[in-house]
Structure 1
Amino acid sequence: MKVGVLGAGSIGSVVAEALRDGLVPGAELAGVVDPALSPAGLPMCALPELLSTSDLVVEAAGQRALTDAGPQVLSAGCDLLVVSVGALAADGLLEKLLAAGPGAVHLSTGAIGGLDLLRSAALLGQFERVVIETTKKASSLVQPWMSEAEAEELRQATAPVELRRGPAREITAAFPKSANVAASVALAVRDWDVVEAAVIADPAAPLTSHVITAAGPAGEYRFEIRNRPSPQTPTSSQVVPYAVLSALEALATPRAVFR
């Protein structure tokens, strides 16, 4: 399976290097597209060239890149592995991608687990309550929409503070680099309206925490995930590119794997 990578930042570069070095059985690197970055040792190219040589493209360039390039990837006949799942909070984008084929859409689990169980439980009946609370180091949660005073207060915080709580779509839009997980949970339970999300800033948090609680006809669930932040990009978790590599391995060499 020839894999193209869209984005050469802290996620895309790890994925591309692993593919280049032959660390993903059954898969090889076709090329990398990133207008802003050109890491040494990676075969950089333009998107049309990438689409002509790839079976699958990994989107690791952010929500805008998924919106702009995703339909092109799929209409060219390439499969698409989405990392910026939060972009799918936009009304109609998932439907647009699914209709753009013949390429297929795959979603990366990213920084969280439990999505398979939530997806299975949702088939039994609609969830009554789903909450995801994300806690990150305060300084990594400064957003462009904050005033300078709000941003500085967050940087200087000495105790945990809940920044925002609300519907998954709202929180994903407000924290696009930190709340992709809320979108992932909503897609897993097949109901954007039932998922409540919260983002909490903690100046002392050594790890990024995601606590998911859910109740429905199948039972009650509680998952807590505590990830180390990416050293290069603290808004993301260090495990994210390895979730992508795990997905690529499962797609390239199907065997006895959990899906």
Structure 2
Amino acid sequence: MTLSVAVIGCGAIGGTVARALHDGDVPDARLAGVVDPAGARGLPELSFDAALRAADLVVEAAGQRALAELGPRVVASGTDLLVVSIGALTDDALLHALNGAGTGRVHLACGAIGGLDMLRAAARMGPLDAVRIVTTKKPPGLVQPWMDDAEAARVRSAPGPLEVRRGPAREIAAAFPKSTNVAAAVALAAGDWDVVEAVVVADPGADLTSHVITASGPAGEYRFEIRNRPSPRNPTTSQVVPYAVLKAVGDLAARTGVFR
């Protein structure tokens, strides 16, 4: 059976995912269409309601607001949902709505990081004592609308590595919605928002976006370092993210055993 997939959003992530599905690059999966008011870049277009009728799986790749508005409706329709904008799940009400909206299953894309399977296993053995994720990016992508002029200028003009903000994962993921989906992903894998500290660093010399995750608990001590190339279309995300999404779609479509 071929998995029919609709993609919400046709930007740097969604556009790459939709094109690969359309071109047959994912075995046992095909593109039903793209939902995006800005257009589908030559790919088949669907209305949201038509996507729910046509698809077995909807991939959300349009940002946190789109997930909040459309995600519960996908699950309520009985259609499975693959979430890319994991940072939106800092909202407990949204997380509850997704989990209780209907018979559709919710899957989370790992996005720009790895090691989440090990964190989940370690947390299952016993609560983790401490988890930290340090994210380092070029300064322009970290400037936020809530910053006043002085803080925005401080970030933009950083001569070297500058710690922009440190705090609980829930707080940091909400404050940097386009840059810290990874903090939310780590917290969800750890099973505890409060145990995860997130740090955001602006570095003008950071040609690669880095995420350094450390954790300790009864199972042992862990350290993962990921260094990704930023997307040329959208430097707030990593170039690898759409391929992580495609890997997740391929796993869901696979007829044989896969590592998850």
Shorter-chain TM-score above 0.5: yes
Which runs of structure 1 show a deviation greater than 6 angstroms over 4 or more consecutive aligned residues?
none
Question: What residue is the counterpart of 1:121 in the other structure?
Answer: 122
In 2, the alpha carbon distance for the partners of 1:81 and 1:12 equals: 12
In 1, the alpha carbon distance for the partners of 2:178 and 2:35 equals: 20
Question: What residue is the counterpart of 1:9 in the other structure?
Answer: 11
In 2, the alpha carbon distance for the partners of 1:144 and 1:254 equals: 45
Superposition RMSD in Å: 0.9
In 1, the alpha carbon distance for the partners of 2:41 and 2:226 equals: 34
**SS of alignment partner, residue 223 of structure 1:** strand
The CA deviation string for residues 73-124 of structure 1, in whole angstroms up to 9 with x for no partner, is 1111110000000000112321210111210000000000000000011111
TM-score by length of 1: 0.98
The CA deviation string for residues 10-65 of structure 1, in whole angstroms up to 9 with x for no partner, is 00000000010011100010111112x21432112210011110000000000011
Check conservation: 2:211, 2:226, Cα contact below 8 A: yes
Check conservation: 2:10, 2:41, Cα contact below 8 A: no
**1:253 correspondence with 2:244:** no
Question: What residue is the counterpart of 1:143 in the other structure?
Answer: 144
**1:28 correspondence with 2:30:** yes
AA of the residue aligned to 1:252: A
Structure 1 unaligned spans of 5+: none
In 2, the alpha carbon distance for the partners of 1:254 and 1:130 equals: 35
Check conservation: 2:4, 2:30, Cα contact below 8 A: yes
Question: What residue is the counterpart of 1:192 in the other structure?
Answer: 193
Structure 2 unaligned spans of 5+: none
AA of the residue aligned to 2:24: G
Question: What residue is the counterpart of 1:82 in the other structure?
Answer: 83
**1:236 correspondence with 2:231:** no
In 1, the alpha carbon distance for the partners of 2:212 and 2:255 equals: 31
In 2, the alpha carbon distance for the partners of 1:112 and 1:254 equals: 25
The CA deviation string for residues 99-157 of structure 1, in whole angstroms up to 9 with x for no partner, is 11210000000000000000011111000000000000111111011122322332222
Question: What residue is the counterpart of 1:54 in the other structure?
Answer: 55
Q: Give the fraction of aligned pairs with identical amino acids, expressed as a percent.
A: 65
Check conservation: 2:75, 2:105, Cα contact below 8 A: yes
**1:161 correspondence with 2:162:** yes
Aligned residues: 258
In 2, the alpha carbon distance for the partners of 1:150 and 1:128 equals: 33
